[in-house]
Chain A
Amino acid sequence: MLLEKDNREMVPSAFDDISFELCKRRDNVIMMSADLSQYCDLYKVTKELPDQYVDAGMAEQNQVGIAAGLAKAGFIPITSTFASYASRRAFDQMVICMGTSKNTGICLGFTPGISSPAPIHHQSTEDLGMTRAIAHATVVDPMDVTDFAQALDAACDRPGLIYMRGHRGTTPQWLDATKFKFEFGKTYPLRTGSKVGVISCGHASQWAVEASDILSDRGFDHSLLHVPTLKPVNEDEIIDFCFAHEQIVTVENHQISTGLGGLVAEIVTSVGGGPRITRIGLPNTWAPGGSIKHIRSVFGLDAESLAARIEGVLQ
């Protein structure tokens, strides 16, 4: 399922093609933006399919409300903005206008976690926890072009609120599109071992793969599980994975509370007697600004540091 290192590619402006192809296939989809289209790689739809594009201006609350209204008129709305604004500024609208509806309403949050170079205000390191707490919501954090495109297409057929983190700019294509088939809730083993089980989602699955490549070269016994759907997740698959390992490490582009690490801990403790879980991500602090390379190094999330931390849990 994971492409060999030599076959992994980087795709420029991936979301431009993903959104354009989606809108061409589904003429009832309306892409939206809150005056950030170009900053979320949304070009072709705005120019070539103007009937399927609505810009709400810098008004994230209204964007989600308008989207919910479009859904009530029979369309499939997909809002887009930075994850920080999608979650923090329009949370009530997501809950009330989309979350209580049976209509499909999709909210995309771009530059999530520390993937924005501007500190705190443009970074969303709590959005997964916030949206995971919404009853009946669907929450997705894809890792690359392949699962992002497939998840977004599948979301168009799913009722209710779907919050999905987006990827902008040059985006990895690391999953083998001929073998990967996205399903809501499903978890995806990318490497199989027995001692340390690493669970990751979103951008952090890229980081985990990088660390895993290093660990594989060193012969360190570990597994890697990519969990793109935080809600609703297949709990049995999480339980089976966790109880098959001596220790578990979760890696996420998010605060270590309320996100993936919290989710895994909730599931494992509901069974009881499980492995120790080490949660890696942002430890209850604000991230600095700067390049993602810099920010990752600050938090020990760069490939070498992450590999060392995963190895370290057995010491």
Chain B
Amino acid sequence: MTSNSEKRIKTLELWAAKMRRNVVDVCMQRGGYAGQGVALSDFGACLYFDEMRPDGKGWYHDRFVNSNGHDTIINFAAMAEMGIYTMEELRTMGADGSPIDQSPIESARGFEITSGSLGTGVSQAAGIALGERKKGSDKRIYCLLSDGELHEGSVWEAFMFAAHHKLSNFIIVIDNNDLGATGKTSDVLAVEPIKKKLEAFGFHARQINGNSIPEILDAFAEAKTIKDQPYGLVADTKIFAGIKVYQDAIPFAHFVGANGRWDTGYLEWEPGWQEIQNTIGRLEGELAAMP
């Protein structure tokens, strides 16, 4: 007997696998923040294909602010599945003359803000949350940021603000991958204990395995029950989680070049491309077998 829950999770695993495929597809040709994109596909799948409510006009009632420009590959990966971007378009990412930017500006399809200057999105997301509440809207505002982004002081200003105004429609998700631009966050400038810090700043906080779809769904469900507090989700992720050959090859990578070169090694794209295709095939088969 297959429960609705199992089917829901399997469906999201398939969405996540397709997002991972899209991330690899773009990055193997154009380079990019592939490790983060692959790792965040579980969160992205849950957000885009389960959590945010559709508005009936091809977009969402709820709002998603991706403050970390380095992670916008997951916005693109999801929107490719929704038909908002084509893979042909996305394969030009960052190329001379291409309209597809690695960190898009505000007018780009599906993006709420200009990201890329870290920290600035969190304040804007809190402002949107306050504004929507002032209008009497029940929209929920999801904001993704990263552990390295916590180095930016204005992020903490925004946290104080959100707690002071009891923005319970404001859900932050911190991609806690212990990775900054040049090394481990814990080596460069330690940010832990993040959960305790969020709690001290007035958040209802929770720490989960950010690569576990059941845990992500459970946290999103809990967030809806919290009154008078913003919700802070510390999502522990591992670079390239979900594609084992890449994880084994590069447990740590900030940016991976198109030719497979990264900071201190060389990544062969092809085995991972095959692995994710196999994963998609397996999940499609398992889902088809479910009643």
Contacts and interface: CB of A to CB of B under 8 A. Distances in A.
Contacts of A74: 131, 135
Interface in A65-111: 65-75, 77, 92-93, 96-97, 100-102
B212 interface: no
For chain A, give the interface size range: 20 to 34
From A54, A66, A71, A100, residue with most partner B Cβ within 10 Å: A66
B131 A69 contact: yes
A97 B124 contact: yes
Chain A contact residues: over half helix, strand or loop, or mixed?
A: helix
Nearest to B123: A65
A73 B132 contact: yes
Interface stretch (B38-46, B152-160, B171-179, B263-271): B152-160
Interface string A188-224: 0000000000000000000000000000000000000
B123 A66 contact: yes
Contacts of A75: 131, 134
A72 B134 CA distance: 13
Interface stretch (A56-64, A147-155, A235-243, A267-275): A56-64
A21 interface: no
A61 B124 contact: no
Contacts of B207: none
A66 to B, nearest CB: 4
B157 A62 contact: yes
Contact of A61 (B113, B114, B123): B123
Contacts of A96: 114, 116-117, 120
A100 to B, nearest CB: 4
Contacts, number: 98
A48 interface: no
Given A70-B127, A75-B131, A65 B160 contact: no
Contact of A73 (B106, B117, B127): B127
A266 interface: no
A69 B114 contact: no
Contacts of A56: 157, 161
A64 B158 CA distance: 11
Which of A64, A67, A70 has the largest number of chain B CB atoms within 10 A? A70
B226 to A, nearest CB: 20
Contacts of B153: 61
Given A57-B161, A93-B123, A100-B105, A69 B154 contact: no
Interface string B86-120: 00000000000000000001110000111011011
B122 interface: yes
Contact of A66 (B107, B117, B119, B158): B158
Interface in B148-199: 153-154, 157-158, 160-161, 164
B145 interface: no
A6 B134 CA distance: 47
B128 A97 contact: no
A59 B131 contact: no
A51 interface: yes
A75 B125 CA distance: 14
A62 B161 contact: yes
B130 interface: yes
Interface of A: 51, 54, 56-57, 59, 61-62, 64-75, 77, 92-93, 96-97, 100-102
27 contacts: A54-B130, A57-B161, A59-B154, A59-B157, A59-B161, A61-B123, A62-B157, A64-B123, A65-B127, A65-B154, A66-B127, A67-B127, A68-B127, A69-B123, A69-B125, A70-B127, A72-B124, A73-B130, A73-B131, A73-B132, A73-B134, A73-B135, A77-B127, A93-B120, A97-B123, A101-B114, A102-B106
